[in-house]
Amino acid sequence: MTAMKTATAALGFFLVLGLLTIACGNNNPSTPTTPALPTTETFSGTLQVQGSAFYSFTLAATGQVSITLASLVPVAPGPASNTVMGLGVGTPLETDCSVTNSVTTAPGLTAQLVNSLAAGTYCARIYDLGALTAPVDFTVRIVHP
């Protein structure tokens, strides 16, 4: 009878031991995933009086697209121009860019045009609203997923 009690106690002890060992697992949480960094593209060129220019880019995923008319310089290196231009975003259509959203803006270093767009191919377009009297060198920055 005493031997049976001892055996039962030993069985109980090893059961508790087993449970404790299982409970002692890895307490570390799963490693957080790092969100993908946005892509920055720079679109530069020379805009003629009454002219326009566009640049195509591809979104790998749905997200926010920020477009900045960053610079207008008539003669580089030289004084910057504050001329107001048209700046738009849309989809490429044959040899042009079909604009779906646009603003009129002077150059700056904060995005003037911000849109949430689905994954796909889009274009940014800059165009003279009639204010240019001579060609200018422009620089547009596009930040997208």
Name the minimum Å distance from CB 2 to another protein: 7
Nearest CA to 55 among 122, 104, 123?
Answer: 123
Nearest CA to 102 among 74, 73, 122, 118?
Answer: 122
Which residues make Cβ contacts (< 8 Å) with residue 121, sequence separation at least 6?
56, 57, 58, 59, 91, 92
**H or E stretch including 8?**
helix 2-23
Site for another protein in 58-87 (CB under 8 A): 66, 68, 70-71, 73, 76-80
- Would you say 73 or 103 has its CB closer to another protein? 73
Name the minimum Å distance from CB 93 to another protein: 23
Binding site for another protein (CB under 8 A): 2, 6, 9-10, 13, 16-17, 20-21, 23-24, 26-28, 40, 42-44, 66, 68, 70-71, 73, 76-80, 107-111, 137, 139, 141, 143
